């Protein structure tokens, strides 16, 4: 058990993480750090955190520091944190991109106290009010560059995530970013793009939303995600995101061409091939 845990950022991921730590008896006291007083007040009222304080003060008081903020802000904040920690403290993050951060901290003298993680869970909602209990049960947590973390720090973080009900997967940071682009980042871009397509059409047909069914709602659900979080992810993982986008556009063009040519067989073949995803996603 940790006596004091600091969560930097008091939103969906960190808030759910804090609730889980308390539920599992892994933390006595949760300290919140946030740029906005409104988020702090909400997190206090919801019982997500027990107290709030400035970053430097919180770090010095904590056994474990958990960073879950937009990735464009993470590197600078993490460097501040790593300059403050001792070899008795553990630092980890929950960012959706790993390579830029791992590279930035590669030569830091306290690098061994950092464990690079990405718990693969989230919703389209944001803020402390979006935090939920049992968020991580049955989900995957990716740990990157595990060989660069001290054994005791790595063991502690593995124990935490496994206690929260997650299974752990290891990979290098570059591979993580490639896979994340394919299974997460492209899903969000596609959802944002589809929502924009429908919003353009809605200018002409106000009834379109009355006709929208469950399939449409599930497909555009991610378009409600926080742009301030996702734009930095797309830009930081630009190379992989563009590669995936090019392939996605290629697949759309195949559908377009087959339909234009009244080629029912090709349309069926494209969909039947897509059905193979059921082997992976039950």
CA distance 158 to 36: 31
Structure confidence by residue, pLDDT tens digits, 156-187: 999 999 999 999 999 999 999 999 999 999 99
Structure confidence by residue, pLDDT tens digits, 188-247: 999 999 989 888 776 666 666 666 666 777 788 899 999 999 999 999 999 999 999 999
User: What is the per-residue pLDDT for 270?
Assistant: 96
CA distance 156 to 64: 10
CA distance 252 to 80: 44
Beta strands in 121-266 (DSSP E): 140-144, 167-171
Which residues partner with 4 through β-bridges? 29
Residues of the chain with CATH 1.10.3660.10: 176-279
User: What is the per-residue pLDDT for 282?
Assistant: 66
Beta strands at 27-33 and 114-119: parallel, antiparallel or unpaired: unpaired
Q: Give which of 27, 32, 69 is closest to 156, Cα–Cα.
A: 27
Q: How many residues can be counted in the chain?
A: 282
Please determine, looking at this structure, whether the domain spanning 2-171 carries the CATH number 3.40.50.2020. no
Q: For the sheet containing 64-67, what is the strand order?
A: 51-52, 27-33, 2-8, 64-67, 90-93, 114-119, 140-144, 167-171
Residues of the chain with CATH 3.40.50.720: 2-171
Find out whether 113 and 88 touch, Cβ atoms under 8 Å.
no
Of the pLDDT bands very low, low, confident and very high (cuts 50, 70, 90), residue 91 is: very high
Q: What is the mean pLDDT of residues 61-77?
A: 97
We find that the CATH architecture of domain 176-279 is: Orthogonal Bundle (1.10)
Find out whether 127 and 42 touch, Cβ atoms under 8 Å.
yes
- What percent of the chain clears pLDDT 70, i.e. is strictly above it? 95
């Amino acid at each position: 058990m940790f006596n004091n845990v600091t969560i930097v950022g008091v939103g969906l991921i960190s808030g759910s993480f804090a609730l889980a730590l308390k539920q599992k008896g892994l933390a006595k006291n949760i300290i919140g750090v946030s740029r906005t007083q409104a988020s702090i007040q909400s997190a206090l009222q919801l019982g997500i955190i027990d107290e709030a304080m400035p970053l430097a003060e919180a770090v010095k008081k904590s056994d474990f520091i958990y960073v879950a903020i937009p990735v464009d802000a993470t590197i600078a904040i993490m460097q501040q944190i790593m300059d403050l920690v001792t070899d008795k403290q553990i630092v980890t993050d929950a960012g959706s991109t790993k390579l830029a951060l791992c590279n930035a901290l590669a030569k830091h003298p306290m690098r061994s106290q950092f464990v690079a993680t990405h718990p693969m869970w989230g919703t389209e909602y944001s803020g402390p009010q979006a935090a939920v209990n049992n968020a991580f049960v049955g989900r995957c947590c990716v740990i990157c560059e595990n060989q660069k973390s001290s054994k005791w720090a790595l063991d502690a973080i593995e124990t935490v995530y496994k206690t929260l009900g997650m299974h752990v997967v290891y990979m290098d940071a570059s591979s993580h970013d490639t896979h994340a682009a394919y299974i997460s980042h492209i899903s969000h871009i596609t959802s944002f793009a589809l929502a924009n397509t429908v919003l353009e059409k809605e200018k002409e047909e106000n009834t379109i939303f009355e006709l929208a069914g469950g399939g449409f709602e599930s497909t555009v659900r991610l378009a409600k995600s926080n742009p301030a979080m996702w734009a930095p992810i797309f830009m930081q993982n630009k190379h992989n995101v563009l590669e995936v986008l090019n392939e996605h556009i290629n697949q759309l063009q195949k559908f377009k061409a087959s339909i234009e040519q009244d080629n029912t067989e090709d349309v069926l073949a494209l969909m039947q091939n897509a059905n193979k995803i059921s082997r992976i996603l039950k």
